[in-house]
């Protein structure tokens, strides 16, 4: 039997024409899912931890390897998939020293995946979790293995150059909080979240066992008036504030991918089909515009347009850049981050891309209809990445 591969990504605590790097073409006709090409790269399953407030939330004393182990274990257990079937692990990492290889390897051992399964790490800044997914998809596509797990364990220039007002940014931030609060209240995150039982040290130095069940950054009481009172974060007269920016957070996510024929052989479900991926370069001083240029390339490769997409999961690094990208592409706001984004949920750097894939596909599954989704984010140093997925329907 061919060895299989796991990809893991862990937590990390516009002038001119952007340059496009080679993109990964993953499918033929974008509308062939009903029949199912045995060579398709499919998403089998995905889970994530709750996203905790960095340095003060329920996961503040939980190590990256423990968070990784939680999601790795959950994905394999949910599917009753033997870890010995896995052929490799690739970890998306941003802030861990030494590329995070040691942390990832420990997380692997804690999850029960044997030492015979090798491991590697990848860092593409905020898109590291998505890059891990794509690295595994590429390996499946080129025949190196048949199945793998991808996991993850952070503006002012955009606002000034492109005229994104403070009012627009605050309104976008409020919507993110409201959508996330509603999703949490309705229980729409329940199927994707793995509860984490951990040790927590309070302000008095007392240790206790707690179980973190839900995202901690959501603020249902947020108002426009409250957001308007916050001071600018970077410049005295700036428009970016703590309220309209992503939160610094802790968390992990895991996405299991496979060749469709292997998924069928192992009687594994198909949660989604990876249709295309693109990464582009943009000016570093306005790196936040990356999704505005990566998304069209990914859509073109998938043979789709903005109108064909049901959900856009665009990382909310800052409201300024998210608003610009949405308006630049003409995306209806109701299609953008319907369960809230990083402003409300948080942005664990190496995890976000994988977390977005998990949230996207679980939401398409909840809706029950065949549809398309896009995951995209800006990337530090001046890049943007985007991937297109198709949910085949219930």
pLDDT for res 162 = 81
Using CA atoms of 122, 124, 130, 134 in order, give the dihedral in degrees to the nearest 10.
-60
Give the model's confidence band at 98: pLDDT under 50 very low, under 70 low, under 90 confident, else very high: low
Q: Which domains does the chain have, with CATH numbers?
A: 4-13+18-156+248-389 (3.40.47.10)
Query: Which pLDDT value is given to residue 200?
Result: 93
pLDDT score at 36: 85
Other CB atoms within a 10 A radius of the CB of residue 240 amount to: 24
| Annotation says 23 is catalytic | no
45 catalytic per annotation: no
| pTM for the structure as a whole | 0.90
Tell me what percent of the residues of the chain surpass a pLDDT of 70: 89
pLDDT of residue 156: 57
Residue 252 confidence (pLDDT) above 70: yes
Q: Which of 8, 10, 14, 28 is nearest to 301 (CA)?
A: 28
Q: Is the confidence at residue 13, as pLDDT, over 60?
A: no
- pLDDT at residue 394 is higher than 90: no
Between 46-55, 155-164, 213-222, 325-334, the lowest mean confidence (pLDDT) is in: 155-164
20 — phi, psi (to 5°)? -100, 135
**15 compared with 126, residue with greater pLDDT:** 126
Whether residue 336 contacts residue 374, with contact meaning beta carbons closer than 8 Å, is answered with no
What is the DSSP track for 156-221? HHHHHHHT--HHHHHHHHHHHHHHHHHHHHHTTTTTTB--EEEEEE-TTS-EEEEEE-S-S---TT
Residue 99 — very low, low, confident or very high, per pLDDT cuts 50/70/90?
low
Q: Which pLDDT score is estimated for 320?
A: 94
Q: Which of 10, 45, 347, 362 is catalytic?
A: 347
Q: What does the pLDDT look like over 305-356, one tens digit per residue?
A: 999 999 999 999 999 999 999 999 999 999 999 999 999 999 988 899 999 9
pLDDT of residue 160: 79
Q: Which of 90, 126, 151, 351 is catalytic?
A: 126
Q: Report the candidate in 256, 258, 250 with the shortest Cα–Cα distance to residue 215.
A: 250
* Averaged pLDDT, 181-208: 95
- Percent of the chain past pLDDT 90, that is, above it, reads 69
The pLDDT assigned to 119 comes to: 78
Confidence (pLDDT) at 55: 86
- The predicted pLDDT at position 174 comes to 97
pLDDT tens sequence across 17-47: 454 544 444 443 333 334 589 999 999 999 9
DSSP state at residue 86: E
- The whole-number average pLDDT for the span 361-384 is 95
Taking CA atoms, 251 is separated from 48, 49, 151, in Å, by 8, 6, 11
**230 SS3 class:** coil
On the 0-12 / 13-18 / 19+ scale of CB atoms within 10 A, 242 is middle
Which alpha helices (H) appear in the chain, and where do they start and end?
64-79, 101-110, 128-141, 156-162, 166-186, 224-228, 260-265, 290-302, 319-329, 342-345, 352-367
Q: Does residue 201 register a pLDDT over 80?
A: yes
| Residue 90 appears among annotated catalytic residues | no
The pLDDT of residue 35: 56
**Would you say residue 247 has pLDDT above 80?**
yes
What pLDDT was estimated at residue 21? 47
Is the pLDDT at 11 greater than 60, yes or no? no
Q: Please compute the mean of the pLDDT values over residues 133-138 and round it to a whole number.
A: 94
> Is the distance from CB of 241 to CB of 229 less than 8 angstroms?
no
């Amino acid at each position: 039997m061919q060895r299989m591969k796991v990809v893991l990504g862990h937590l990390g605590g516009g002038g001119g024409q952007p340059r496009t790097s080679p993109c990964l073409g993953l499918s033929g006709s974008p509308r062939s899912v009903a029949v199912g090409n045995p060579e398709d790269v499919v998403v089998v399953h995905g889970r994530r931890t709750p996203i905790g407030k960095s340095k003060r939330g329920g996961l503040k004393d939980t190590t990256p390897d423990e968070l990784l182990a939680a999601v790795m274990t959950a994905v394999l257990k949910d599917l009753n998939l033997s870890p010995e079937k896995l052929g490799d692990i690739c970890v998306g990492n941003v802030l861990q020293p030494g590329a995070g290889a040691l942390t990832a390897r420990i997380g692997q051992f804690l999850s029960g995946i044997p030492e015979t399964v090798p491991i590697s790490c990848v860092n593409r800044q905020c898109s590291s979790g998505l890059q891990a997914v794509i690295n595994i998809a590429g390996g499946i596509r080129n025949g190196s293995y048949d199945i793998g797990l991808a996991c993850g364990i952070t503006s002012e220039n955009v606002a000034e150059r492109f005229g994104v007002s403070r009012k627009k940014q605050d309104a976008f931030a409020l919507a993110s909080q409201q959508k996330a609060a509603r999703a949490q209240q309705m229980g729409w995150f329940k199927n994707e979240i793995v509860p984490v039982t951990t040790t927590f040290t309070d302000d008095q130095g007392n240790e206790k066992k707690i179980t973190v069940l839900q995202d901690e950054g959501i603020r249902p009481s947020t108002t426009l008036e409250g957001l308007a009172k916050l001071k600018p974060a970077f410049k005295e007269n700036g428009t970016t504030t703590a309220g309209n920016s992503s939160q610094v957070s802790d968390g992990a996510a895991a996405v299991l991918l496979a060749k469709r024929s292997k998924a069928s052989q192992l009687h594994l479900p198909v949660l989604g089909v990876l249709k295309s991926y693109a990464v582009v370069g943009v000016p570093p001083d306005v790196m936040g515009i990356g999704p505005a240029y990566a998304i069209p390339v990914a859509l073109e490769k998938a043979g789709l347009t903005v109108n064909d997409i049901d959900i856009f999961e665009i990382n909310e690094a800052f409201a300024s850049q998210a608003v610009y990208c949405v308006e630049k592409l003409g995306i209806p706001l109701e299609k953008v981050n319907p369960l809230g984004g990083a402003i409300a949920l948080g942005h664990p750097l190496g995890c976000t891309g994988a977390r977005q894939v998990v949230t996207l596909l679980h939401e398409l599954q909840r809706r029950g209809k065949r549809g398309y989704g896009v995951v995209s984010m800006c990337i530090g140093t001046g890049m943007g990445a985007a991937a297109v997925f198709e949910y085949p329907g219930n």
